A and B are shown apart, each in its own frame.
Chain A
Amino acid sequence: MTEALPMAGTPANANLAGLSKNDYRGNPSTLCQGCGHNSISNQIITAMYEMNVVPENVVKFSGIGCSSKSPTYFLNRSFGFNSLHGRMPSIATGALFGDYHLKGIGVSGDGDSASIGMGQFKHVMRRNVNMVYIIENNGVYGLTKGQFSATAEKGLSLKKQGENPYMPVDICMEALVSNATFVARSFAGNPKQVKELLKAALAHNGIAVLDIISPCVTFNNQENAYHSYAWGKDHEEPLQEISYIAPRNEIMLEREMEAGEVREVAMHDGSIVILKNLEKGYDTSNRYEALRVMEESQRNNWLLTGLLYLDTTKPNLISRYDLVDTPLNRLTEADLRPDRSMIDKVNALMF
């Protein structure tokens, strides 16, 4: 993803791809001021810029919702597809098969992924499609005026909706039990962590789920609500301090921290994710541990953030297939047409 573009007159603040931050921006946002989704879009722009990503090598996907509108607000130079409600995973799977050299970035909502799109969400996890899958989680259907979503906490009381009687869906748990290979939770009110997690997610070779609590300031931002800024700020418990180190940077790590409390994870592209554990001895490669800390945080009313689980050893979807180098969407008739004898085989199969 880091090949440089031949560009004349490279701007002064250019990154290694020869691009300025403006090359990563989208249209001006039409979302409400203060919406968590906007701050996530900004971090996507910054992360992509800092990672020297070439926008033409990225495809954006989304479903339906305020969150799903946001791909318009970053990476104007990339292809994008605003799909049907809850159907982003199948669109993304298809497009990324069409050209497996591309990196996918999907933005969905809690309604889009945990209600109507739950089935597709589960399958894109287990297939380990090579994409970043962001859920901008606000506990409501923001776009349709604030109905409870499947991630709203039991007992949440909203003026126009009454009280939510149901237990919530935990997106990270769902991802984990569906065999996702990168599972993280973050909070739009913690932009630094969002950015570092985004970079790690982009470097991951497979599905990277980011469940980002992203307050809806218009419909669900009361102080005592799980998805509000105030509650998040008071209850956030980060698992680690996370720093992403790009492949080319030969930064010497400070070794001041006690051994065992700093973990370096080598990513597929040669980059390194440094996790300074705040929770003693937390091991991101242990699924059981991940489930345990999630359960614990639920019981204690914490907003647990950070990289919950990471497995860099599993093959991504594409590598399970013996594909040619040429992107499938560029194959010509000469490449594609089966031999005439194939029809006899097909006919023989009928008996």
Chain B
Amino acid sequence: MFFECFEFGWKSFEIAERIQTPVFVPSDLDMGMNQWISKPFEYPNVPMDRGKVLLEKDIEDLKGSWGRYLDKDGDGIGYRTFPGNKHPLSSYFTRGTGHDEYAKYTEEASVYLDNMDRLKRKNETAKKYVPAPMMHSMKGATVGIIAYGSTEAAVLEAQYQLDAEHGLKTDFMRIRSVPFTKEVDAFLAKYDQIFVVEMNRDGQMHQILLTEYAQYAVNLKSVAFGDGMPASAKWVREGILAKYVKADGKQKAAASKKKATAKKVTKKAAPASKLKKDAKKPVKKAVVKSKSSAKSKRK
């Protein structure tokens, strides 16, 4: 957690300069206010990225064919100059209103549309630079879990418990950036039940995912909770079980459970069967819920 926060600190500057966009790094009160054990921070061992910058000689080489918002490379990112550049063609005015590729004021609709399209391309480009998610996969997983930030440890523990006590094998992807990278696309395409675990009241990441991946909306289940305390494996586990639908996955879950118990033979057998009873309750409820929602969908 801390290790990554440090790394994201310096990375955010690089990404900001490369994509020419402010980068937000959300931290966590728990990290900010308390002492924790962490791996030692690592020396940033990659070349620094200052992005696309033109100095006087570069503009001279371009023979003046330069526009602040010209998309020369097709990646949506223009070349920029810094104040202090003495070349007469280097300066430009950053304005809050509509502007053309040369940073000149305009109210031309087609120019505005082009610029919006460029920004969309830039957002695509950004995906190549932002951190990819971390995967905690399990062999034979039938459902996915998405979480982010400091809930990680609680989710890992819940992942273990769900497997050991309920025979539910899960793939856990910890998202580390918005915009979402191709790994996120692939993860969402893989499972028909994905639990979005997060520490807030409204399920904010769930909402973002719904907007970005409307095609998977029915598969995404929000497990949101926030009581001011750090995340616990208990609420992650219970939250997932409350929304987990066996439905056609009934056999799958049972089958994979058999494999699990077969592997772990003696030790896990007793508590797993004991806990199975408790697990039934929320599952039943969830089935009823989904039926009614399926009905209302059909209307």
Residues of A within 8 A of B (CB): 27, 55-56, 59-60, 64, 71-72, 77-82, 84, 95, 98-99, 101-102, 327, 329-330, 333, 336-337, 340, 342-343, 346-347, 350
Contacts and interface: CB of A to CB of B under 8 A. Distances in A.
Nearest to A337: B48
Nearest to A60: B93
B41 A346 contact: yes
A340 B105 contact: no
B293 interface: no
B9 to A, nearest CB: 11
A330 B82 contact: yes
Contacts of B105: 27, 72
A327 B84 contact: yes
B82 A98 contact: yes
Given A99-B82, A346-B41, 18 more contacts: A56-B85, A56-B86, A64-B96, A78-B91, A79-B81, A82-B93, A82-B95, A82-B96, A82-B97, A99-B84, A329-B82, A329-B83, A336-B48, A340-B43, A342-B43, A343-B40, A343-B41, A343-B43
Contacts of B43: 340, 342-343
Contact of A99 (B42, B83, B90, B97): B83
A330 B38 CA distance: 35
A56 B91 contact: yes
Contact of A71 (B38, B85, B88, B93): B93
Q: In the complex, which of the residues B55, B93, B94, B105 has the most CB atoms of chain A within 10 Å of its own CB atom? A: B93
Contacts of B81: 79
Nearest to B48: A333
B102 interface: no
Contacts of A336: 48
Contacts of A72: 93, 95, 105
A347 B82 contact: no
Contacts of B26: none
Nearest to A56: B86
Contact of A347 (B40, B83, B86, B96): B40
Interface residues of B, number: 25
A197 B33 CA distance: 49
Contacts of B32: none
A327 B53 CA distance: 15
Instruction: Identify the interface centre among B42, B43, B48, B94: most chain A CB within 10 Å of its CB.
Output: B43
B92 interface: yes
Contact of A95 (B38, B50, B83): B83
A351 to B, nearest CB: 10
A327 B84 CA distance: 8
A347 B88 CA distance: 46
A64 B83 CA distance: 21
Contacts of A27: 105
Given A27-B105, A329-B82, A329-B84, A347 B41 contact: yes
A94 to B, nearest CB: 10
Nearest to A346: B41
A16 B297 CA distance: 77
Contacts of B228: none
A333 B47 contact: yes
A342 B43 CA distance: 8
B94 A81 contact: yes
Interface string B23-50: 0000000000000001011110001101
A101 B85 CA distance: 11
Interface in B104-143: 105
Nearest to A72: B93
6 contacts: A56-B88, A72-B93, A72-B105, A340-B43, A343-B42, A343-B43
B84 A102 contact: yes
Contacts of A95: 83
Contacts of B91: 55-56, 77-80
Task: Give the residue among A55, A56, A59, A327 with the most B Cβ atoms within 10 A.
Answer: A56
Contacts of A327: 82, 84
Contacts of A55: 91
Contacts of A343: 40-43
Nearest to B36: A350
Q: Top 4 nearest A-B pairs by Cβ distance?
A: A99-B84, A80-B93, A79-B83, A343-B43
Contact of A82 (B38, B55, B82, B94): B94
B92 to A, nearest CB: 7
Interface centre among B40, B55, B96 (most CB of A within 10 A): B96
A71 B91 CA distance: 13
Contacts of A342: 43
B236 to A, nearest CB: 29
Contacts of A84: 96
A7 B82 CA distance: 23
Interface string B151-179: 00000000000000000000000000000
Nearest to B40: A347
A78 B81 CA distance: 12
Given A343-B42, A343-B43, A347-B41, A59 B93 contact: no
A130 to B, nearest CB: 13
Contacts of A79: 81, 83-85, 91-93
Contacts of A56: 85-86, 88, 90-91
Interface in B246-298: none
B88 A77 contact: yes
Nearest to B97: A82
Interface string B65-109: 000000000000000011111101011111111000000010000
A60 B81 CA distance: 15
Chain B CB count within 10 A is highest, among A336, A337, A347, for A347
Contacts of B95: 72, 80, 82
A336 to B, nearest CB: 7
